[in-house]
Amino acid sequence: MKQILVMEPLAQEGLNLLATAARVTIAAGASAADLAALLEQADALLVRSKTRVTAELIAAAPRLRVIGRVGTGVDNIDLEAATHRGVVVVNAPYGNTVSVAEHTLGLLLALARHISEADRSMRAGRWEKTAFEGTQLRGKTLGLIGLGRVGAAVARRALGLEMKVKAHDAFVTPERAAQMGVAWVTLDELLASSDFVSLHLPDTEQTRGMIGARELARMKQGAYLINCARGSLVDEQALLAALDSGRLAGAALDVFSREPLPDCALLHHPRVLLTPHLGASTVEAQRDSAVDVARQVLTVLEGGVPEYPVNAPALSAEELSALGPFMDLARRLGQFYAQWSGNHVQSVELICCSELAGQRTDLLVSSLLVGLLSARAEEGINWINAQWAARERGIAFAARLEPDTMPSGWTHWIELKVRTNGEMRTVTGAVLRGEPHIVQVNGYWLDFVARGMLLVSEHREQPGILGRMGTVLGDAGVNIHFVQVGREERGGAGLLVMGLDDPLTAEALQQVLALPSIRTATMVRLG
């Protein structure tokens, strides 16, 4: 009988489902010695957010076939180690949508009507009716940063309260937002015009610290900030300064940069409303997430394909063998574009050439969309749900076979075409010597392995530019391990890609941007 190890509390409905086909052991609070023994026999592992599933833990479970994350985020799981071992990771990206949206609205209402402060005053024996004059929500503007599953659910409920709703999401088109009754605006416009700003983005390198001093200073005087997404999105010190200065009237936080929240200024600030990461803490969300994950874990153990795999495509072994390298390439092309360009995407086209003709291009398109959307999308994007997620954001996508269009000497060719804000951008890749290469960006010929940390810079060619950039990077203590330059003509526009051992700090990146002839400079991480 299969052995399933449950590391954290799980709703009974999920436990009951697991018990129909496997022996279930609850290991919450187990000693290190007991846990080691249990891991040796475990075929499946179920965790929530507290357990860190490290490479060492995965290595200690030789029979492990599947890890189930009861919830959405998988940042506590070493996906690379799991993938290397052939362990499927599944999650429940939709089980908590309604609960998180409702909690967001609850915090919004509590801020608007000073409910928490009034409650404390009453319990202290005071009757301060005039001290807590609030504001009604009807007619006020709610700005949503992120319009994925939770953001969209919040929008629907806010519209029901007769609020005006604006949103900024790089991967939702204005047309799609309009269909929801939401006005798509730039981030700066959203910040300047919203009475309430609510965050609904994942924790990624692109979103960490995105609400800092600059963004808070651009918010409407007397506005409120709500965060039920990820604590890493907000610079907490900058938030405190904005509250102290009076720029913000208040903030409601369900998530924090450190959890549990240590003793700090946030705990004692009179205009901050706090809850201990309760967004998904409802009976219904816990039940639905537990059942979703339990069902998928059993599916994997029975040899089937799960509904929401985080790190595994739903295809046969034969298809994976033939298309695996090209699926990986397509994903990295999407990753590159998503980080290189900050514009929202209107349409995506994947052009496949030569030996790929006749193969399942839907697999390649899905892989491309995984890379394109996962950098900023709120829900866990995977091979299964990528096309659905793109449609939800109003992104058109298609694939086209052109077996006779490659330059001489090439046998494999994938080109990504992205239409955004009326312009077309392209990224082209090939599989060379078994590795994914990017060989052309916006018409500039290059050749580098699509892996690791990259500095991508658009510039006008002039003597000494490489030396000056090298000096900036050297002063920052960052090693360059390759340089690729593409150009239109001598002295013309060009594209520079540097492979770096470490990412640049924001300060060093600004120094690069300040160099003469440098038009753009962007950090890109591929993996």
Which of these ranges, 169-173, 183-187, 271-275, 376-380, has the smallest mean pLDDT? 376-380
pLDDT in tens, 293-310: 999 999 989 977 788 888
Q: Rounded to an integer, what is the distance from CA 284 to the centroid of its chain?
A: 25
pLDDT in tens, 115-144: 999 999 999 999 999 999 999 999 999 999
- 79 and 136 in a single domain? The answer is no
User: Of 418, 445, 472, which one is at a domain's C-terminal end?
Assistant: 445
- 89 and 102 in a single domain? The answer is no
**87 domain-assigned:** yes
**279 domain-assigned:** no
452: helix, coil or strand?
A: strand
- 218 and 154 in a single domain? The answer is yes
Range of the domain at 42: 3-95+284-301
Task: State percent of the chain over pLDDT 90.
Answer: 67
- 84 and 172 in a single domain? The answer is no
Model pTM? Answer: 0.77
pLDDT in tens, 341-361: 867 788 999 888 756 655 678
**357 domain-assigned:** yes
- 87 and 105 in a single domain? The answer is no
Of the candidates 259, 423, 435, 488, the residue annotated as catalytic is: 259
2 vs 68: CA distance, rounded Å: 15
Q: Is 412 a catalytic residue?
A: no
On the question of pLDDT at 312 being above 80, the answer is no
**390 to 115, 232, 373, 504: CA distances (angstroms):** 39, 25, 8, 31
199 vs 427: CA distance, rounded Å: 30
| Number of domains into which the chain is organized | 4
**42 to 15, 26, 34, 306, 309: CA distances (angstroms):** 16, 12, 12, 19, 19
DSSP 1-37: --EEEE-S---HHHHHHHHTTSEEEE-TT--HHHHHH
pLDDT for position 359: 63
**118 domain-assigned:** yes
CATH number, domain containing residue 319: 3.30.1330.90
- 110 and 223 in a single domain? The answer is yes
User: Of 445, 468, 502, which one is at a domain's C-terminal end?
Assistant: 445
Of the candidates 114, 149, 230, 412, the residue annotated as catalytic is: 230
- 259 and 140 in a single domain? The answer is yes
- 60 and 152 in a single domain? The answer is no
Q: Is 324 exposed, middle or buried (0-12, 13-18, 19+ CB in 10 A)?
A: middle
User: Of 394, 413, 445, which one is at a domain's C-terminal end?
Assistant: 445
Of the candidates 277, 419, 487, 525, the residue annotated as catalytic is: 277
**417 to 1, 352, 443: CA distances (angstroms):** 49, 11, 11
CATH number, domain containing residue 56: 3.40.50.720
CATH number, domain containing residue 470: 3.30.70.260
Q: Is 157 a catalytic residue?
A: no
**130 domain-assigned:** yes
337 — phi, psi (to 5°)?
-65, -45
Among the ranges 198-202, 315-319, 348-352, 464-468, which has the highest mean pLDDT value? 198-202
**119 domain-assigned:** yes
Cis peptide before 260 (omega within 30 of 0): yes
- 323 and 405 in a single domain? The answer is yes
154 vs 143: CA distance, rounded Å: 10
- 135 and 263 in a single domain? The answer is yes
**306 domain-assigned:** no
Helices (H), 141-282: 149-160, 174-179, 187-193, 213-218, 236-245, 265-268
**428 domain-assigned:** yes
- 331 and 266 in a single domain? The answer is no
- 498 and 523 in a single domain? The answer is yes
299 — phi, psi (to 5°)?
-60, -45
